[in-house]
A and B are shown apart, each in its own frame.
Chain A
Amino acid sequence: MSMEYSKEKKVGEGTYAVVYLGTQHATSKRIAVKEIKTSEFKDGLDMSAIREVKYLQELIHPNVISLIDIFMAYDNLNLVLEFLPSDLEVVIKDSSVIFNAADIKSWMLMTLRGIHHVHRNFILHRDLKPNNLLISPDGIIKLADFGLARAVPGPREILTSNVVTRWYRAPELLFGAKHYTYAVDIWSVGVIFAELMLRIPYLPGKDDVDQMEVTFRALGTPTDREWPDVSTFPTYNKLQVYPPPSRDELRKRFIAATENALDFMCGMLEMNPTKRWNAIECLQSDYFKELPPPSDPADIKIFHD
């Protein structure tokens, strides 16, 4: 155990890591220590751990979790991360927390700034969901969990489509595309935005097949007209063809959303990945320019005293 930090309380256990809360002695700062359970992996250092270390070392940004230090102890790899007491999933589920349109805008702005930084460093996150958008004590959103991240692929590189937690999975992934890019992350943000407005998951598929059903029922089945050759995906023929929702239907579903907010959402939930908005288009959208201005993160009341 490093003398510089103390581990005080176990707060979580995943498949490959245990997370502790602790203190950095030199600064008395609260920190989180992610202890990677290396002994359980017969292939040496685990891929998720390698990815997390690899990408967090490069990404230094206010909206990306900061990796303070790494050390080895008892043959275990320990990542010292900044202390982030909450996340968007907790906030969405906590019915005692009230948040408004300006708060949502603030969260979207911070999330997209983080994603823009990740993308301009040629990295895909591939697992964006409310649970991975952590919140600092002063209300700042931080992208976390880079265990599935990878470099942006070259033109003909073949990738696995088995990425992103199901509800936040882009249509190209649902179709099993062997190549995809930044657009998969933006789709996830679109779904998160919808979820923030509805306060329930927007596209909660029960399994992979149902996910397609739920997605296309809500947003329409893509056709070759707006997405050339989409019908050549092997699973396409089995699909029920739903018409895309009319603007009025969307207005009814998202009662509080302004026209700009709907445009913003539709830009991110565009079926055709090449037409989907990128992080820059999202950040420049009129949604961020109209009233109300995004809340000051520190003013959003999400913590109980």
Chain B
Amino acid sequence: MSAEVEDSSNILPSEKPAVDSNKEEKKVQKRITDDDLYRHSSQYRFWSFTVDGLKEKRTEINENATAKVKEALVKFVDTKKDILSERELQTIQSKATPLTADEELKLVGFYAKKVQVIAQHLNLPTEVVATSITFFKRFYLENSVMEYDPKDMVHTTIFLACKSENYFISVDSFANKAKSKKEEILKYEFKLLESLKFTLLNHHPYKPLHGFFLDIQHVLHGKVDLNYMGKIYDKSKRKITDALLTDVVYHFSPPQITLAVFLNEDEQLIRKYLELKFGEQTNEIGTTPTPEASKEPTDSKKPDEKKEDKSLSQSKINVDKLLETIISCKEMIESFETISTQDAKLIYAKNYYCKNPNVIVQKLKRKLEQISQDDSSNEPRIDKKQST
């Protein structure tokens, strides 16, 4: 695993009382925090990465698949080299090029969006939609689109997400509603579960959304309009689902993502809230050490100096640090773009040709036949030209 997972197994209670009743003694006997619990989650252990770690992972998946695709192409050309013309060989070479890691990512992003649209179209609860997106993306962190066609995985992930979120629909009625086939839905279900490393529990940002929604009203009591808050809540809920399509899910904790979405809706409100909530306190708050949050900004060549600096000045640091984290999360959400259907089709076609070089040959043959037909019937063509 490339994630910098802290080994915190020693904080589980064994011989000492499971609950430390004396809150005053917090410093002496460490109490397990929500952050500690989150670090035990499979989401943190298996599915959180640094930016570099994630990139590395994608490159590796891409390289492995590329090698396989190339090997298959060489084999194809090898077995048919006596039949294939020079021109055919050239066309294969130019059209059947394996996808780059970036193209893969774009295609996955495009189909992840499709998963969202289809799941929403099926009227599934928000959490099921979110889990569908998450499963789909995680599958392609372990597999390449060059090995598993994203089209084949869309319904499979939604169906498994339904079951995993306790929203059972029989496969027959699901197939019926999704206009798919039972066999196709179930074909890769095992493969999916295995690729998910058998981890199914997701912590989505909706629960923190509700929590912050209530807490903001509490902390800013009398200073914030309830109707207004309701609107922000609804908008943010939709934005969270969109954020799940981006890479922030791998670098930030669910509450950080929620705050980033909130910040986008009303920066002043959130700044005020964080100031009032955390401004006076020291330590411990707002430092959920997701890989990205615990990393110093990359532009700093002297991370140690900076760290020391921060730990010296007190109370304000954490709000600042928290804001810094949230803002970088927000920026990452904003920088995400889904590609157009046209671009997706191009990448998809490229991928298709790689796996089916025969199609290129046949297409070329048909094209040549067409041309030669056209050539042999010169007159009508001229006729046509004249008539226009």
Which A residues contact B (CB, under 8 angstroms)? 42-45, 47, 50-51, 53-55, 57-58, 60-62, 70, 72, 75, 77, 112-113, 116-117, 120-121, 150-151, 154, 280, 283-284
Q: What residue of chain A has the Cβ atom nearest to residue B190's Cβ?
A: A72
Inter-chain contact B12/A60, CB cutoff 8 Å: yes
Q: Is the interface of A mostly helix, strand, loop or mixed?
A: mixed
Contact among B164, B170, B190 with A43 in the assembled complex (CB-CB below 8 Å): B170
Q: In whole angstroms, how far apart are the Cα atoms of A208 and B92 in the complex?
A: 70
Inter-chain contact A57/B19, CB cutoff 8 Å: no
Contact among B19, B163, B170 with A50 in the assembled complex (CB-CB below 8 Å): B163
CB distance from B184 to the nearest CB of A (A): 12
Given contacts A50-B164, A51-B166, A58-B40, 7 further A-B contacts (CB under 8 A): A45-B160, A54-B199, A57-B199, A58-B199, A60-B12, A116-B19, A283-B19
In the complex, 18 of the A-B residue pairs with CB atoms within 8 angstroms, ordered by the A residue number, are A43-B163, A44-B159, A44-B160, A44-B163, A44-B171, A44-B185, A44-B189, A45-B160, A45-B190, A57-B200, A57-B201, A58-B41, A60-B40, A62-B13, A77-B190, A113-B18, A117-B12, A150-B166
Contact among A50, A75, A112 with B18 in the assembled complex (CB-CB below 8 Å): A112
Question: Once A and B bind, how many residue pairs between them come within 8 Å at the CB atom?
Answer: 77
Inter-chain contact A62/B14, CB cutoff 8 Å: yes
**Contact residues, B157-175 vs A (CB, 8 A):** 159-160, 163-164, 166, 168, 170-171
Contacts of B170 in A (CB 8 A): 43
Contact among A47, A112, A116, A120 with B163 in the assembled complex (CB-CB below 8 Å): A47
Inter-chain contact B168/A47, CB cutoff 8 Å: yes
Q: In whole angstroms, how far apart are the Cα atoms of A120 and B14 in the complex?
A: 16
Contacts of B171 in A (CB 8 A): 42-44
In the A-B complex, list the 10 residue pairs whose CB atoms are closest, starting with the nearest.
Answer: A54-B200, A113-B18, A70-B198, A43-B171, A44-B186, A44-B189, A62-B14, A116-B18, A57-B199, A280-B19
CB distance from B170 to the nearest CB of A (A): 5
Q: In whole angstroms, how far apart are the Cα atoms of A263 and B170 in the complex?
A: 46
Q: A45-B163, A50-B164, A70-B198 are in contact. Are A58 and B42 (CB under 8 A)?
A: yes
Q: In whole angstroms, how far apart are the Cα atoms of A113 and B14 in the complex?
A: 9
Q: What residue of chain A has the Cβ atom nearest to residue B34's Cβ?
A: A120
Q: B298: CB under 8 A from chain A?
A: no
Inter-chain contact B201/A45, CB cutoff 8 Å: no
Q: B37: CB under 8 A from chain A?
A: yes
Inter-chain contact B189/A55, CB cutoff 8 Å: no
Which of B12, B166, B193 has most A Cβ within 10 Å? B166
Q: In whole angstroms, how far apart are the Cα atoms of A61 and B184 in the complex?
A: 38
Q: In whole angstroms, how far apart are the Cα atoms of A61 and B36 in the complex?
A: 13
- CB 8 Å contact bits of B26-39 with A (1 = contact, 0 = none): 00000010000100
Contacts of B193 in A (CB 8 A): 45, 53, 77
Q: A44-B185, A47-B168, A61-B12 are in contact. Are A54 and B18 (CB under 8 A)?
A: no
Q: What residue of chain A has the Cβ atom nearest to residue B18's Cβ?
A: A113
Inter-chain contact A72/B194, CB cutoff 8 Å: yes
CB distance from A138 to the nearest CB of B (A): 12
Q: B373: CB under 8 A from chain A?
A: no
Contacts of A284 in B (CB 8 A): 19, 21
Which B residues contact A (CB, under 8 angstroms)? 9, 12-14, 17-19, 21, 32, 37, 40-42, 159-160, 163-164, 166, 168, 170-171, 185-186, 189-190, 193-194, 198-201, 207, 210
Inter-chain contact B189/A45, CB cutoff 8 Å: yes
Inter-chain contact B42/A117, CB cutoff 8 Å: no
Contacts of B190 in A (CB 8 A): 45, 72, 75, 77
Inter-chain contact B18/A55, CB cutoff 8 Å: no
Q: What residue of chain A has the Cβ atom nearest to residue B14's Cβ?
A: A62
Which of A50, A61, A116, A117 has most B Cβ within 10 Å? A50
Inter-chain contact A117/B18, CB cutoff 8 Å: yes
Inter-chain contact B42/A113, CB cutoff 8 Å: no
Contacts of A53 in B (CB 8 A): 193, 198, 200
Q: In whole angstroms, how far apart are the Cα atoms of A55 and B199 in the complex?
A: 9
Q: In whole angstroms, how far apart are the Cα atoms of A62 and B170 in the complex?
A: 37
Inter-chain contact A60/B18, CB cutoff 8 Å: no
Contact among B13, B19, B186, B201 with A54 in the assembled complex (CB-CB below 8 Å): B201
Q: In whole angstroms, how far apart are the Cα atoms of A253 and B263 in the complex?
A: 60
Q: In whole angstroms, how far apart are the Cα atoms of A117 and B40 in the complex?
A: 12
Contacts of A47 in B (CB 8 A): 163, 166, 168
Inter-chain contact B198/A121, CB cutoff 8 Å: no
Contacts of B198 in A (CB 8 A): 53, 57, 70
Contacts of B207 in A (CB 8 A): 154
Q: In whole angstroms, how far apart are the Cα atoms of A264 and B16 in the complex?
A: 20
Which of A45, A70, A116 has most B Cβ within 10 Å? A45
CB distance from B363 to the nearest CB of A (A): 37
Contacts of A50 in B (CB 8 A): 160, 163-164, 200
Q: What residue of chain A has the Cβ atom nearest to residue B159's Cβ?
A: A44
Q: In whole angstroms, how far apart are the Cα atoms of A112 and B13 in the complex?
A: 12
CB distance from B80 to the nearest CB of A (A): 36
Contacts of A42 in B (CB 8 A): 171
Q: In whole angstroms, how far apart are the Cα atoms of A44 and B163 in the complex?
A: 10
Q: What residue of chain B has the Cβ atom nearest to residue A45's Cβ?
A: B189
Q: In whole angstroms, how far apart are the Cα atoms of A208 and B257 in the complex?
A: 46
Q: In whole angstroms, how far apart are the Cα atoms of A45 and B187 in the complex?
A: 11
Q: In whole angstroms, how far apart are the Cα atoms of A51 and B160 in the complex?
A: 12
Contacts of B186 in A (CB 8 A): 44
Q: What residue of chain B has the Cβ atom nearest to residue A140's Cβ?
A: B14
Q: In whole angstroms, how far apart are the Cα atoms of A36 and B198 in the complex?
A: 14
Inter-chain contact B200/A113, CB cutoff 8 Å: no
Q: In whole angstroms, how far apart are the Cα atoms of A117 and B14 in the complex?
A: 11
Q: What residue of chain A has the Cβ atom nearest to residue B186's Cβ?
A: A44
Contacts of A116 in B (CB 8 A): 18-19
Contacts of A113 in B (CB 8 A): 13, 18
Q: What residue of chain B has the Cβ atom nearest to residue A61's Cβ?
A: B12
Inter-chain contact B160/A55, CB cutoff 8 Å: no
Contacts of A120 in B (CB 8 A): 32, 37
Q: In whole angstroms, how far apart are the Cα atoms of A103 and B57 in the complex?
A: 51
Q: What residue of chain B has the Cβ atom nearest to residue A288's Cβ?
A: B17
Q: In whole angstroms, how far apart are the Cα atoms of A154 and B207 in the complex?
A: 9
Contact among B17, B37, B199, B201 with A283 in the assembled complex (CB-CB below 8 Å): B17
